[in-house]
Structure 1
Amino acid sequence: MSRAQPPIAVLVALSAVGPLALNMFVPSMPGLAATFAADYGTVQLTLSLYLIGLAVSQLAYGPLSDRFGRRPLMLAGIGLFLVGTLIALLAQSIGMLIVGRLVQAIGGCAGLVLSRAAVRDLFDRERSASVIATITMVMVVAPMVAPLIGGYLDQWFGWRANFWLVGAFAVVVLGFAVPLLHETNHYRQPLPGLSGMIGSYAILLRSPVYRAHIALIGFASGAFFAFLGAAPFVVIDLMGHPPSDYGRWFALGAAGYMAGNFASSRLAVRVGLCRLIQAGMGFMAAGAALMLTLALAGQMTLLALFGPMAMIAIGNGLVLPSGNAGALSVDRRRAGAASGLSGFMQMGLGAGISTLAGHLVVDSALPLAAIMAVSVAISLLAFHALRRANRQARELAARTRPALPKAA
């Protein structure tokens, strides 16, 4: 008898909760410096510690879900997200707001990481890349409109309105998830304990293919997180635009990301993961080079900022689904741990890169463009390392494959 599977729409909604809260809040960040009488570096902790919370908690969610299942961890996560939203909503100081954002991140992380693991439970490598791309393509609609909505909410009702909206969305998602989120992990692994968790991660990191995948994912998305950390300051403080303008133009990059994911969902099975990653890296390199050239020429306009970002976002949409599917396919028995570790590297690097960009951008967009270009360049090196590791793995498999007996 076939087991019930969760609807893809439920996995999409669960994975969208964390990114929605991340992106809707960003246009409010420059204004919080005046609200709480804090410097922008302190305010930016609401973003960087959110990313760190996403990063660190993924290390625990993966192995725990391998042992206890995906469903209970995702339901507990969204409950914790609601607690963090309430703390942030009631915050009277920047410190309490940062605490609320951190709790939000730890809870919202569950759906983000475990929805990918659930897909890998249900489908093979190529098909999972296609489904992950479909989930990401639909999921990206929320982050695409989130800065626009967040900008207008901040402008009309103040920054707390963002938390009212994301809290209401999380309640609706929880209402659908309780009856419809069926378990996908039917082959439970023993709970490894701290030493066992470290051992699982060590096994994964001994694989050159896995190492190359997570470096590729981390630095490819690092360009986006650099933009997220510094672009609001550039647009609102340096250019003098209102938060709603940032939200409107951010939709251009999000649309590019959605286009890349749409192409991935249609082409992953037909053309293979490596060719999709190669195409995506081409878009990212072109976008980063264009943004750096315009910044060096002193062109600090909305089109000069968001146009190249859209090209980078198309590349991200092609690279990340295939990179994630490849990383999760290295060891299917440790799919949860592999998803958690790759997510940790992605969000951890993102937190560091966004914080660096936020501190270096003072009076022009040039430091932002340079950081994004360096991140893309490192991801290109990781892609070449991945191709070499895949080639060596195929050669090793060919040498160790037993010879077929000769016909009599």
Structure 2
Amino acid sequence: MTISADIYQAAKPKIWILVVLAAVGPLAINIFVPSMPSIALNLDAPYATVQLGLSMYLLATAAISLFSGPLSDKYGRKPVLVWSLILFLVGSTICLLADNASSFLIGRIIQAASATGMVLSRAIVRDVYPREKSASMIGYVVMGMAVAPMIGPAIGGYIDSVAGWRWSFGLLTSFGLIALLATLILLPETNTNIGQSASNQIQGYISLATMPIFWLFVGSASFTSAVFFSFLGGGPAVSSLFFGQTPFEYGMYFSLCALGYAFGNGIAGRYSEAVGLEKMMSLGAIFSFIGPVASLLLFYLSAEPAAWMLFVPLSLIGLGNGMTLPNVTAATISVRPEAAGAASGLLGSLQIGGGGLASIIGGIVVGETGSPYGLCALLVGFGLAALIITLMAARMSRRYEAN
């Protein structure tokens, strides 16, 4: 089924609004990570309990992503975004005022409602732009989605050092309020096919599930993201236990990944339309694999391991993610443009859900000593899987487009 060209004449929202919407949830993913010891001490809770605030948030995000796309196909993008942002503000306020670990974790779960911003910002782009152009535009949108959690630790570490951990959630509340006002006042409705029945949405999922190209794209996005999220789960332990870094130092080193991602995203935004989605996602997967390989080699060849051996190669992971994810996302939601919301939601659910599991594995691998060797080996494994699946997806996509 081909989508009518008329849809591309719909009102195009300002790109900065979509970037903000895409960034709200991801910023909340790990802005509190450097503060976990402080939160555990303040709430008189075990560190492992507070750490659930990361994995529970990711798993809740995965579940919400699965349903937000179809809901927006039926009721429209804007109403779903508005209600999800209201819930995000409620959850952020609960975390801000929490006086025990249970309240904190409940707030984190409610915060995950902001996952709709990640899903629907991409669907909105696909609503108003054709396939090749959408890759470039999604490059800028996904920049907000991925750079936000990459700079989150630096922001959270600084806030914790000067004002305390609660102000990180104060910042999230303010950011969520800005996103809500921008959505209410400035965001047009872009879904021109509102009112799809539940049976049509179910058929959309079934149709997607029977397409091998869809699963290859999902696998590419999931394993590429797993390289990053597995580091997110194990990196803080390596930083604090193995290298003895402070939360602020960890956050600053971690920002190298954000710089790499921003550069990769800029490349995707500028050149994807001319170079092609398949070539760009393949090049990105290569960089995502080279980064952890370089880090692993540096650790095994060096007599004196240093923090830069972990964090500098991490910038290549960011670069690869920045090149791969916008293009594989645009390709995924173009498989069935008339069900862009469902496709984006399913992709986001599996991608973030896989990231949640990868973060747990990363934390387990580093153990109580925070050793970087096992973590680097895990990153290499995820990077290799991402490279193989991405190359397979690119090859099938070329055949798919040719037919």
Unmatched 5+ stretches in structure 1:
398-408
Give the AA of the match of 1:327: T
Check whether the contact 2:142–2:325 (CA below 8 A) recurs between aligned residues.
no
Residues 207-266 of structure 1: CA distance to partner in whole angstroms, max 9, x if unpaired? 111110000000001010011111112112332211111111111110000000000001
Determine the structure 1 residue equivalent to 2:163. 157
Instruction: Give the structure with higher Rg (CA).
Output: 1
Q: Which of residues 279, 282, 287 in structure 2 aligns to 1:275?
A: 279
SS of the counterpart of 2:335?
A: coil
1:46-125 aligned within 5 A = 46-105=53-112, 107-125=113-131
Q: 1:394 to 1:11 in 2, by over 3 A?
A: closer
Counterpart in 2 of 1:248? 252
Give the equivalent residue in structure 2 for 1:206.
Answer: 210
**Distance in 2 (alpha carbons) for counterparts of 1:9 and 1:167:** 19
Identity of aligned residues (%): 40
Counterpart position of 1:401: none
Counterpart residue number, 2:139 = 133
Tell me the TM-score normalized by structure 2: 0.92
Tell me, yes or no, if the aligned pair for 1:30 and 1:233 is still in contact at 8 Å.
no
Equivalent position of 1:402 in the other structure: none
Question: Secondary structure of the residue that 2:31 maps to in structure 1?
Answer: helix
Alignment check: 8 A CA contact 1:154 1:162 kept:
yes
Question: For residue 330 of structure 1, what is the aligned residue in structure 2?
Answer: 335
The amino acid that maps onto 1:209 is: I
In the alignment, the residues of structure 1 paired with residue 366 and residue 158 of structure 2 have an alpha-carbon distance, to the nearest angstrom, of 25
> Equivalent of 2:377, from 342, 367, 370?
370
Deviation at 1:142, TM superposition (A): 4.1
1:405 equivalent in structure 2? none
Whether contact under 8 Å (1:16, 1:139) holds in the other structure is yes
Q: Distance in 2 between matches of 1:117 and 1:9?
A: 15
Separation (CA, whole Å) in 2 of partners of 1:305 and 1:151: 19
Q: In structure 2, what is the Cα distance between the partners aligned to 1:248 and 1:60? A: 35
Give CA deviations for 1:339-377 in whole Å, capped at 9, x if unaligned. 000001100100001011112212211121121111111
Single out whichever of 44-53 and 317-326 deviates more from structure 2.
Answer: 44-53
Range with greater deviation from structure 2 (370-379 or 110-119): 370-379
Contact 1:29 1:44 in 2 (8 A): yes
| CA distance in 2: counterparts of 1:297 and 1:87, whole angstroms | 48
Aligned to 1:236: 240
Call closer, same or farther: CA 1:45–1:234 in 2, change over 3 Å: same
Task: Compute the RMSD of aligned alpha carbons.
Answer: 1.9
Corresponding letter in the other structure for 1:231: G
1:140 Cα offset (Å): 5.1
- C-alpha distance after superposition, 1:263-306 (max 9, x if no partner): 00010111101111121122112112112223334654221111
| 2:278 and 2:397 in contact (8 A); partners too | no
Query: SS of the counterpart of 2:189?
Result: coil
In structure 1, distance between residues paired with 2:222 and 2:147: 22
Structure 2 distance, partners of 1:303, 1:242, is 15
Superposition deviation, residue 139 in structure 1: 5.7
Is the Cα contact below 8 Å between 2:23 and 2:144 reproduced in 1?
no
CA apart distance, 1:388: 4.1
TM-score of the superposed pair, with normalisation by structure 1: 0.91
- Contact between 1:71 and 1:181, CA under 8 Å: does it hold in 2? yes
Q: Is the 8 A contact 1:117 1:335 kept in 2?
A: yes
Instruction: Show structure 2 runs of 5+ residues with no match.
Output: 1-5
The answer to whether the Cα contact below 8 Å between 1:226 and 1:357 also exists between their aligned partners in 2 is: yes
Residue 3 of structure 2 is matched in structure 1 by none
Determine the C-alpha separation between the residues in 2 that align with 1:272 and 1:329.
Answer: 14
Using the TM superposition, give the Cα deviation of residue 35 of structure 1 relative to its aligned residue in structure 2, in angstroms.
Answer: 3.5
- What letter matches 1:176 in structure 2? A
* AA matched with 1:262: G
The match for 1:316 among 304, 313, 321 is 321
**Rounded Cα–Cα distance in structure 1 between residues aligned with 2:253 and 2:273:** 33
Q: Letter of the aligned partner of 2:185 in structure 1?
A: P
Deviating more after overlay: 15-24 vs 122-131: 15-24
Q: In structure 2, how many angstroms separate the alpha carbons of the residues matched to 1:140 and 1:207?
A: 27
Q: What aligned pairs does 1:291-306 form with structure 2 within 5 A after superposition?
A: 291-297=295-301, 300-306=305-311
What pairs with 1:9-48 in structure 2 (closer than 5 Å)? Answer: 9-48=16-55
